[in-house]
Structure 1
Amino acid sequence: MRYLFLGLKLAVFIVLLLLAMQNSQLVSLNLLLGGVWEAPLILLLLAFFAAGAAFGLAAGFTYSLKLRRQLTALKKELRARQQTQVTHDPSDSIAD
């Protein structure tokens, strides 16, 4: 199974390398206020993919922090309820 995943990773790498080699021509990206950035197409694709991945990870991270704060609050509430709850001691109810 490990060799299968290694082969799959190698195949994906080769396909992406061939894609990069096929898209090496220069393209112009027209920026705001008349700016132009010329770069190879694969570099622009990589830059926008990296920016999208960074935004996605940041969104997931903030959601994870929100859930962690909620979990901490619920744990505190549960501890407070358990401390205020009257516990029943079974040894008190035994009648001799």
Structure 2
Amino acid sequence: MRFIVWLLRAVVFIVLLVLALANTQDASLNFVAGYSWTAPLILIGLVFFAVGLLAGVLAAAPALVRQRLEIGRLKRQLKNVQDTPAVIDEPPLPPII
């Protein structure tokens, strides 16, 4: 199974590498107010990928922090419960018929 996963990763890497090498021509990105940026197409794609990755991490960060705080709170509760001695009550008597 691991071999298949690594083979799939290698195939994806090779496909992306071929696409990157095939798209080295200059592209122009036009901004507002007449500003433009001219760079190789793969560099522009890489910048937008990095910006998207950063936006995804920033969007997920509050949920991750909230989950870590919840896990810490639950671990403290579990430790408190485990430290307190358990009170064992006598089982109830069966009903008299």
Aligned residues: 89
The structure 1 segments of at least 4 consecutive aligned residues displaced by more than 4 Å after TM superposition are: 70-79
Deviation at 1:11, TM superposition (A): 0.6
Choose 58-67 or 19-28, whichever is displaced more: 58-67
Which position in structure 1 is the counterpart of 2:15?
A: 15
CA RMSD, Structure 1 to Structure 2 (Å): 3.0
Q: Percent identity?
A: 40
Deviation at 1:58, TM superposition (A): 1.3
Which position in structure 1 is the counterpart of 2:44?
A: 44
Distance 2:2 2:72 in 1: 38
TM-score, normalised on structure 2?
0.68
Report the CA distance shift for 1:24/1:69 in structure 2 as closer, same or farther (over 3 A). same
SS in structure 1 at match of 2:64: helix
SS in structure 2 at match of 1:90: coil
Indicate the structure with greater helix content. 1
- Does residue 32 (structure 1) correspond to residue 32 (structure 2)? The answer is yes
Q: Deviations over 1:24-81 (max 9, x none)?
A: 11010112322111011111111101110111011111121133345556777899xx
Gapped regions of structure 2 (runs ≥ 5)? 91-97
TM-score, normalised on structure 1?
0.69
